[in-house]
Structure 1
Amino acid sequence: MRVDGRNITVSGSLLQPLTRRTNDILRLALATLFLTVVIVSSLVTRNEWTALERSIAGIVGVLTPTQSNLVYLFYGIAILALPFVILIGLIVTRHWRLLGAYAAAGIIAILALSVTGNGITPPRWQLDLSGRLDSVLSQFLDDPRWIAMLAAVLTVSGPWLPARWRNWWWALLLAFVPIHLVVSAVVPARSILGLAVGWLVGALVVLISGTPALEVPLDDAVRALTRRGFLVSELAVLRPAGPGPLMMSATSENHEGGTAVVEMYGPHQRSGGVLNQFWRKVRLRETETAPLQASMRRAVEHRALMAIAVGDLGLANCAPIAVADLNRGWTLYAHHPARGASLNAAVQTVPVDRTWEALRMLHSHRISHGDLRATQLTADDANVLFGGFTHAEYGCSDTHLQADVAQMLVTTTNLYGPAEAVRAAIDAFGEDAVLMASRRLTKPAVPSRVRASVADFKAITSAAREEVKKQTGTDEIQSETITRFNRNQIIQLVLLVALVYVAYPFISSVPVFFSELRTANWWWALAGLAISATKYVGAAAALWACASGLISFWKLTLMQVANTFAATTTPAGVGGLALSTRFLQKGGLGALRATTAVALQQSVQVMTHVGLLIFFSAFAGASADLSRFVPSSTVLYLIAGAALGVIGVVLLVPKARRWLTVELRPRIKEVIEDFVLLAKEPWRLALIVLGCATTTLGAALALWASIEAFGGDTSFVTVTIVTMVGQTLASAAPTPGGVGAVEAALIGGLAAFGVPAAVAVPSVLLYRILTCWLPVFFGWPIMRWLSKSGAL
């Protein structure tokens, strides 16, 4: 390369990978918003919009019919030729890799608007010129699929082509709106929809395929270094541009040291940087986040200034040479190479005390580093120095200082071991500061870059916390809350939203239900309520016996009521299982033991449920037709085939096999061992079976009492079968609490046994109030109380 009369040797590849810029993300968001506006406006204001278009067309449509036909003809030819012109432009500029994205965008846009209620309707474009030419062209101008295809391919091709071409082609495409008005015609609504769909498809393809990186202004970088007195004679690429900067090594014969590290940041090389900063501001508390960097230039300048400030303390491993704006939006940051060896390689020669003493000196000047990975620390003559400074802050808050101590605990524990790391930290900062910082040894509080720099972050933080407790004599370290919304608040919000969702179908039936309540026998309703309470006692007794009696029985009973809230507001009762496991863990059981106890109870519950179903079906089989409850042979074959397919996938996929052997096998083994122990303790086994049976039969008795409250006449055996079928559907239905599926199954089951709909519908609704909705509303405050008391 020749710059200002000097030959400069450049080695290494400057070819940059495809990038996904912030503009690409914003383009997709705007395209989605535009499509939403088009759909909503066409549905809400379509008639008014058509009238407005006709009035505008009457004002601006001043062309004669002959002139209108000529305009329509020439514009139609241009629109017909536009996709081929774009394709030729890509071929001429040799963007071969873009041809696949070009074709994919066009095909997807056409298919998206070809799907109808009757399937896919293919386009019927033809170039039969035997008729009028304007009639041939109108099939393209008025077809939203052609407009969508044009918008999609133009969006995909735009970033790769010259700006002048791109602007002219977009102007030509968007001209179909004023041209339709000029020729006194209404703009087809489906054409606007095609434009929106095409833009969205193109934006999505661009985000997936990536956009080209900008040309690297090496000559401008050389001139910027020359102005600083660094005459470059050779450039060598150390790392190509990508998510990070383009890094090069620059050699000079007239500068002290002779070499420099040159980092060149493109305008979009921190893709999503602004969005990430904004998300951190929204998610984290105000004291946890640094001020927003408005541009890449400001971010690079901040890093250089922090390097100068830390260098004045003698703690920086490099010094800046130049910061400059370059052509095409690039930013240059050149600095001297880092002094010393990486701390990873100097562990044997550098005591851990030196590392903590360097951090203490940095903090004494109110400077936080923010990125204390081992790769950002070097050792020179047994002195520890800092590098990076991208996340450093001058005049920082106490929060940033505590975060630094927590990060250094992670790094030094990984390098030197927990005992040495914590001892050195206490010697440098004191017990109170280390104890406060150790509250941040959690995944949310430690940045992902620091977590990724160690082999096993969870094990290291656990060891560090235990060592801090040991050396400070503290019993427990409470984790620091750094987010605006903690996990419990998010879970509670999701559960409340789910509760409103699942309650909506019930609320719509309330007026009819209340009209039927006037004829109900309230004594039977109260009996059903009392009977339904036995379910929770039985479930608590079963789980208490599965946990070997190590948990308080009365708290376990209250937890079963809270469990109703969690199970009803999550699909398939997953929340209930998680709540039970959490309660047992808080009660003193280990994680594996608590999981095993819950799994044991569920296993016995299933076996008891199936046994009771078989038992009562044998009694009811002679007097009722149960065939409608038995799936057809085709369904059974499909279920068996799906099960075999799942088994085959598990056996063939290595990760699935590993999960089966590492995660699932120990739990199955624990459950089997518990069954063996249960066989040796008949009283415990009997208590579990009795508790599980009470849960099932209590629900059946509650439904039977509800039927009696409305004057129904059916046997308890019949109601038991219907209830167990409904419970089975509740566990399999994807809706929270089985809402919809349970009611339909119970009403249909009662109808199968001859219960009139006038009795079955209000009875099932009353049953669901007694066994589902009342416990849900009582379960919410009980769950909060258990959480505040430390039981959850």
Structure 2
Amino acid sequence: MRVDGREIVVAGSLLQPLIRRTADIIRVVLSAIAVAIVVAGSVVTRSQWHALEGSVSDIVGVFTPGQSNFIYLLYGVAILALPFAVLLGLIIGRRWKLLIGYAASGLIAGITLSLVANDMSPPEWHLNPARLDTFLAQFVDDSRWIGMLAAVLTVSGPWLPTRWRRWWWTMLLAFVPIHLVVSTVVPARSMLGLVVGWFVGALVVLVVGTPALEVPLDGAVRVLAGRDLTVTGFTVVQPGGPGPLVLSAATEDAEQVIVELYGKNQRSAGAVRQFWRWLTFRKSESAPFHASMHRVVEHRALMGIAIGDLGLASSKPIAVSTLERGWELYAHSPSRGSALAPIDDAMVACSTWNSLKILHSHQISHGDLRAAELRIEDGTILFGGFGNAELGASDSHLQSDIAQLLITSTALFGEVRTVRTAIDRFGEDAVVAASRRLTKSAMPARIRKSVPDSGAVLTATREEVLKQTQAEQIKAEQVTRFSRNQLIQLVLLIGLVYVAYPFISQVPTFFTQLKTLKWWWALLGLGISALTYVGAAAALWACASGLVKFRNLVIMQVANTFAATTTPAGVGGLALSVRFLQKGGLGAVRATAAVALQQSVQVITHVGLLILFSVVAGTSADLSHFVPGATVLYLIAGVALGILGAFMFVPTLRRWLRDAVRPQIQEVFGELSELARDPKRSALIILGCGATTLGAALALWASIEAFGGGTTFVTVTVVTMIGGTLASAAPTPGGVGAVEAALIGGLAAFGLAAEIAVPSVLLYRVLTCWLPVFLGWPTLRWLGRKDMI
């Protein structure tokens, strides 16, 4: 490279990979969206759109036929000469590589728009000297010509002067208003040609590149020369990619300068990153928006000066400047000192926290405390990389610094020494407060990626803080705008709306039947339904060996109704029970085992009661409604065999079955054998599970009696248990639709009239499902506020 008569040697590649050309990728995506919109619009609203265009043309078309022909003639000459003017400019500028892209884009766009079904329609442009306006109209109205023009302008536009580019695009897009003012309709295929040409040109630009990809090293040489640094050569240290293009500049005075160059792609990616952090993180957790890349680089240089004044900066800013084609330059001295490595040195660990203490005493946060940004010189820790540093930092930024250094220092010096030193320098309260950020969501990804096995390091550091400070617990800090519990509750609420929709459609019919309702039976059913929560809470309390408060368990059962109803197969209710027991003091394994034990006893009790009441009911009932057809039975058997074969022949599934499932099953069987030796506990669990099953049957029986009755409690119990069992396999949340169909069909099988069975089942679902669900939502939120889930 030759600059001002001097030869500058450049070693290394300056090109950016395709996947990092953010601006070009965004252009391709926007053009593809435009193609989709035009195609969809032309298919859906073609006739209406033509009518609208005709109406607009009648309003604005004020020219006479002679004037219209004259305007059409002038515009046709301009649109015909436009590509040749662009071509001439490329040849004069010796843009040979760009010339290839110009020709390729025009050819691809023309061929693409010539495809018709399975054939190709060649252009038919004829010269008729007697009718020049007709000849020019062939180009103005031809989608291929419009597409070719859009493609070549997209490719050559970035290389053209801004004024030329704007004028030529204005000239091309003018075909829409010109068609309207001369009282004609815009050809639909011309609009298609415009967006297709833009898309083809955007793809070619992504491959060929733009002037923004050409690194203005000559400008960098001149900027450094203004700082009395005469550059003799550049060596690429880090190619352009997710970060800046980093070069090492050698000077005539044998002084080395590190030059960082930021292009338009870094600017767009940085803006997207800033916007994402603002959207997802709380205001106190994200830095203020920077208006431009120049402000970002300037901020970094100023923070380097501020930290350098404290004697803690590993490098010194030299120059910040805007270069040609949107590039920004940041030059600084090479980093002083040596890099930190995992060592067992108490002095180095103390120096690390001492340096951070000095920063915080001047209300400066660093924000990027990776080991790569820490260096040591003469026993003093120096900082580098000030892109995330803040002057006048908030408490959130200072706490984030402490949390980051806890992780980095633990990886270097071990958690015991790290926590002890941090407490000595900042105090127990500050370390405990910062430890709330030792979570995956609060810890920046760049910090986690810099530490091997970051998950284990986070856990070990947090536990060590608990040990040395004797704190009861460390509650995770919420750094995002929405917590995980809030997102889960939003999903559950959406599920509630989904499952409630089929029921809402049946509400009018249900209300017409309420005229004959006996309200005392409905109130009895509601009371019985409430007692089922007490039974379920008693069973779970006994399964947990009485280690949680029974009153809280009853409240949790109400919230459990909401979680179980709004998730398929009731998995939300099981997860909520496990979480509640964990927050109550049980370990994860013990809580899971307690819930599994309750479910196992519930199944055993359910099956036992089903057999007992089926025998009592006799064989007079028609149970054919409950028996699936042969096709369904074969399908179930086939799926079961397929699952069995998968677990037998897939090693990963076998290991999961052996390592994760089998221990849980063994623990459940161990609990069951222990229950056999504890009659009081066994009786309480069985009674609680039995109360849940029989309570549901009693609620349905009371609902039937509320509409006149007509069947026995034994019959209703069999229907409830068989229908509930079949409906539990339904994929809908809460079994909505399946439960109602199964219960109504079961009651009909036992001879109950449809005019009683249908409203009775709907009333039963209101009492046992929908009322508890709407009570469960605020109860679930209350449990969350009390930190019980």
- For 2:418, give the aligned amino acid: A
Question: 2:583 aligned with 1:586, yes or no?
Answer: yes
TM-score (norm 2): 0.80
The equivalent position to 2:405 in structure 1, one of 408, 411, 415, is 408
CA contact under 8 A between 1:729 and 1:738: conserved in structure 2? no
Change (3 A) 1:308 1:498: same
Partner residue in 2 for 1:54: 55
Aligned pairs for 1:236-255 within 5 A: 236-255=235-254
Partner residue in 2 for 1:264: 261
**How much identity, in percent, do the aligned residues show?**
56
Task: Determine the C-alpha separation between the residues in 1 that align with 2:595 and 2:384.
Answer: 51
- Offset of residue 234 of structure 1: 2.4
Task: Determine the C-alpha separation between the residues in 1 that align with 2:169 and 2:96.
Answer: 16
Task: Determine the C-alpha separation between the residues in 2 that align with 1:497 and 1:610.
Answer: 34
- For 1:236, give the aligned amino acid: T
CA contact under 8 A between 2:366 and 2:386: conserved in structure 1? yes
Q: Which moved more, 1:518-527 or 1:748-757?
A: 748-757
Aligned pairs for 1:575-614 within 5 A: 575-609=572-606
Residues 81-135 of structure 1 show CA distances to partners (whole Å, capped at 9, x for unaligned) of x9xx99xx99986679x99xx89x989xx9xxxxxxxxxxx947664999x99xx
Partner residue in 2 for 1:230: 229
Residues 130-164 of structure 1 show CA distances to partners (whole Å, capped at 9, x for unaligned) of 9x99xxxx9x9999xx99x979x969985998669
- For 1:50, give the aligned amino acid: A
Change (3 A) 1:670 1:197: farther
Residues 759-782 of structure 1 show CA distances to partners (whole Å, capped at 9, x for unaligned) of 233122101101101112232343
Partner residue in 2 for 1:451: 448
Change (3 A) 1:616 1:216: farther
- Offset of residue 290 of structure 1: 1.8
Change (3 A) 1:786 1:302: closer
- Offset of residue 370 of structure 1: 0.8
- For 2:287, give the aligned amino acid: A
Aligned pairs for 1:387-398 within 5 A: 387-398=384-395
Partner residue in 1 for 2:217: 218
Give 3-state SS (helix, strand or coil) of 2:535's partner: helix
Partner residue in 2 for 1:377: 374
Residues 687-726 of structure 1 show CA distances to partners (whole Å, capped at 9, x for unaligned) of 5444434333332332233223223534556544543455
CA contact under 8 A between 1:238 and 1:249: conserved in structure 2? yes
Residues 215-256 of structure 1 show CA distances to partners (whole Å, capped at 9, x for unaligned) of 22222222222222222222222222111111222222325x
Give 3-state SS (helix, strand or coil) of 1:293's partner: coil
CA contact under 8 A between 2:155 and 2:205: conserved in structure 1? no
Task: Determine the C-alpha separation between the residues in 1 that align with 2:48 and 2:63.
Answer: 24
The equivalent position to 2:420 in structure 1, one of 417, 420, 423, is 423
CA contact under 8 A between 1:156 and 1:206: conserved in structure 2? no
Question: 2:311 aligned with 1:314, yes or no?
Answer: yes
Task: Determine the C-alpha separation between the residues in 2 that align with 1:57 and 1:33.
Answer: 28
TM-score (norm 1): 0.80
Give 3-state SS (helix, strand or coil) of 1:452's partner: helix
Give 3-state SS (helix, strand or coil) of 2:533's partner: helix
Partner residue in 1 for 2:17: 17
Task: Determine the C-alpha separation between the residues in 1 that align with 2:66 and 2:624.
Answer: 75
Task: Determine the C-alpha separation between the residues in 2 that align with 1:65 and 1:642.
Answer: 77
Task: Determine the C-alpha separation between the residues in 1 that align with 2:764 and 2:204.
Answer: 54
Change (3 A) 1:370 1:764: same
Partner residue in 1 for 2:555: 558
Aligned pairs for 1:157-556 within 5 A: 177-178=176-177, 181=180, 214-255=213-254, 258-269=255-266, 271-344=268-341, 348=345, 351-556=348-553
Give 3-state SS (helix, strand or coil) of 2:450's partner: coil
- Offset of residue 756 of structure 1: 4.0
CA contact under 8 A between 1:57 and 1:186: conserved in structure 2? no
- For 1:624, give the aligned amino acid: D
Task: Determine the C-alpha separation between the residues in 2 that align with 1:90 and 1:630.
Answer: 74
Partner residue in 1 for 2:134: none
Residues 654-694 of structure 1 show CA distances to partners (whole Å, capped at 9, x for unaligned) of 76666555544543443343344445556645554444343
Change (3 A) 1:570 1:198: farther
Change (3 A) 1:701 1:463: same
The equivalent position to 2:622 in structure 1, one of 614, 621, 624, is 624
Give 3-state SS (helix, strand or coil) of 2:51's partner: helix
Q: Any unmatched runs of 5+ in structure 1?
A: 111-121
Residues 479-531 of structure 1 show CA distances to partners (whole Å, capped at 9, x for unaligned) of 43333443344444443444344334333433332221111222332332233
- For 1:468, give the aligned amino acid: V
The equivalent position to 1:782 in structure 2, one of 779, 782, 788, is 779
Q: Which moved more, 1:689-698 or 1:305-314?
A: 689-698
Residues 290-328 of structure 1 show CA distances to partners (whole Å, capped at 9, x for unaligned) of 221111111111111111221122111111222221221
Residues 165-192 of structure 1 show CA distances to partners (whole Å, capped at 9, x for unaligned) of 9989977986775576467565688997
Residues 309-348 of structure 1 show CA distances to partners (whole Å, capped at 9, x for unaligned) of 2112211111122222122111111222211221126664
Change (3 A) 1:57 1:400: same
Aligned pairs for 1:122-161 within 5 A: 123=117, 127=121
CA contact under 8 A between 1:50 and 1:186: conserved in structure 2? no
Task: Determine the C-alpha separation between the residues in 2 that align with 1:166 and 1:603.
Answer: 74
Change (3 A) 1:245 1:780: same
- For 2:330, give the aligned amino acid: Y
Task: Determine the C-alpha separation between the residues in 2 that align with 1:470 and 1:391.
Answer: 32
- For 2:318, give the aligned amino acid: I
Change (3 A) 1:791 1:323: closer
Change (3 A) 1:598 1:375: same
Task: Determine the C-alpha separation between the residues in 1 that align with 2:648 and 2:205.
Answer: 36
Q: CA RMSD in A?
A: 5.1
Give 3-state SS (helix, strand or coil) of 2:319's partner: strand
Change (3 A) 1:786 1:363: closer
Give 3-state SS (helix, strand or coil) of 2:334's partner: coil
Give 3-state SS (helix, strand or coil) of 2:557's partner: helix
Give 3-state SS (helix, strand or coil) of 1:551's partner: coil
- For 2:258, give the aligned amino acid: V
Q: Any unmatched runs of 5+ in structure 2?
A: 88-94, 128-136
- For 2:341, give the aligned amino acid: N
Give 3-state SS (helix, strand or coil) of 2:264's partner: coil
Look at both structures and tell me which one has the larger radius of gyration over its CA atoms: 2
Give 3-state SS (helix, strand or coil) of 1:518's partner: helix
- For 1:223, give the aligned amino acid: R
Aligned pairs for 1:707-726 within 5 A: 707-714=704-711, 716=713, 719-720=716-717, 722-724=719-721, 726=723
